Each structure stands twice: as C-alpha cells, then as structure tokens.
A and B are shown apart, each in its own frame.
Chain A
C-alpha cells in the first residue's frame, strides 16, 4: 500500500502571512526542516507536528493527514 503524509503547511502559512524562516523560528527548527516537511520529503515527529499545529493555530489532524 502506498501511503504518504500530506499536509497543508504551505497553505496555512500563506494564510497567516508567515515565511518559512518565521515558522522555523517559532518551532525552534531549521528552515530546511520546514521546507522538507512542506514538500513531503521529511515526516516530522509527533512533537514537531504538535509544535507546528500549535504555531499555525490548527489541530494536528487538520494540518496532517495520510494520503493513500
């Protein structure tokens, strides 16, 4: 089964007018981490997913979902 973690990080970031750098700063990670999560290259840990959801004012389920 081919599953991948999809997200609406970029879309939500755009809605809030945040840059990758600003979001990275809020979550205390590098911009590369934000970039790779956004592009589906890197699957974040639960802790980081929670931090991202908190920073973007969404629930984790609203931000990430599994795409089949």
Chain B
C-alpha cells in the first residue's frame, strides 16, 4: 500500500485548479448576487456592511483570478504555465469581450429605462457590474466546459 506524501496531497496542482475553475463557474454569479444585496441593502448595520464588503471582495478577486489567470506564485512554474496557457488566455479574452459588451448593453438599457422608472444609483452600479460579471463568467465557463476525453 502506498500513500502520497502530505505536502503533495495538500498542494494544489494545475489540474486540480482547472477542475475547480470548471465547477465553480456556475456558483460564483449566484454568490455575487447574494452578497450584493447585503452591501446595498438600505439600513444595513456596520457589521453586515463589512461582512458584505469582505464577501464581495473575495468573490470579485476569485472571478478576476478565473478570468485573467493571475499568476499563482506558490505553484511550481509548470503549473503556472499550464494555468495561463494559450487556451486559457484566449477563453479569458473572449469572456472579457462579452463582459464589456454586456456592460455597454446594460448601461444603455438603464439609460433608456430611466425615462420611465427612477433607478437608484446603488442598484444601477449593482446591476451594471454584476450583469457584466455574470455574462463574462458564464461565457468563460461555457467555453471551458467539460474535460474532453483523450479520443475526442
């Protein structure tokens, strides 16, 4: 019987992070939506706001990491190279373009909607930022979906 050494067992690898990126993609937009309400809720106390901001920052950084493949300094060079390879850069770039497009469309839609409905500034920021993030992360996850079989 053989056991993996503990340092190897604990250390994330390019493959495990890729799996996480795939499985987390669908969850993150939901977390953003959930946490957004805490930040912009009227009458929220300081503790709730701080908690919300912490959650928001964590989720936002995770999304940035997913989209831009920020270098993970504690990983070996090999894993960093795999996580930031050409496919991932291409997918991130495409997702980023979709995010910018969503930002433009949502912003324009809000400007038009203002004619009929008064829009709160906080809600507008929330809708604009999260709309773009959700589209970008959704696109990223869609392009990066499923680990292909060897023969595929």
With A33-B86, A33-B87, A45-B86: A28-B81 Cβ-Cβ less than 8 Å: yes
Residues in A neighbouring B152, C-beta threshold 8 A: 35, 39
Of A19, A20, A30, which one neighbours B14 at CB under 8 angstroms? Answer: A30
As a 0/1 sequence over residues 138 to 152 of chain B, the CB contacts with chain A under 8 angstroms (1 = contact) are 000000100110101
Count the A residues whose beta carbon is within 8 Å of the partner chain — how many?
17
**B79 nearest CB neighbor, chain A only:** A28
User: Is A30 touching B82 in the complex (CB atoms < 8 A)?
Assistant: yes
CA distance A29 to B18 in the complex (A): 12
Question: B100 CB to closest chain A CB, in angstroms?
Answer: 22
User: Is B81 touching A21 in the complex (CB atoms < 8 A)?
Assistant: no
B:65-98 near A, CB below 8 Å: 78, 81-83, 85-88, 90
User: Is A44 touching B86 in the complex (CB atoms < 8 A)?
Assistant: yes
Q: Does A55 contact B (CB under 8 A)?
A: no
Count the B residues whose beta carbon is within 8 Å of the partner chain — how many?
16
CA distance A33 to B147 in the complex (A): 11
**A42 nearest CB neighbor, chain B only:** B87
Of A21, A30, A39, A42, which one neighbours B150 at CB under 8 angstroms? Answer: A21
CA distance A29 to B86 in the complex (A): 8
Question: A29 CB to closest chain B CB, in angstroms?
Answer: 4
B:1-36 near A, CB below 8 Å: 14, 18
Of A19, A21, A28, A32, which one neighbours B87 at CB under 8 angstroms? Answer: A32
User: Is A28 touching B82 in the complex (CB atoms < 8 A)?
Assistant: yes
Contact residues of A with B, CB < 8 Å? Answer: 19-21, 24, 28-33, 35-36, 39, 42, 44-45, 48
Contact residues of B with A, CB < 8 Å? Answer: 14, 18, 78, 81-83, 85-88, 90, 144, 147-148, 150, 152
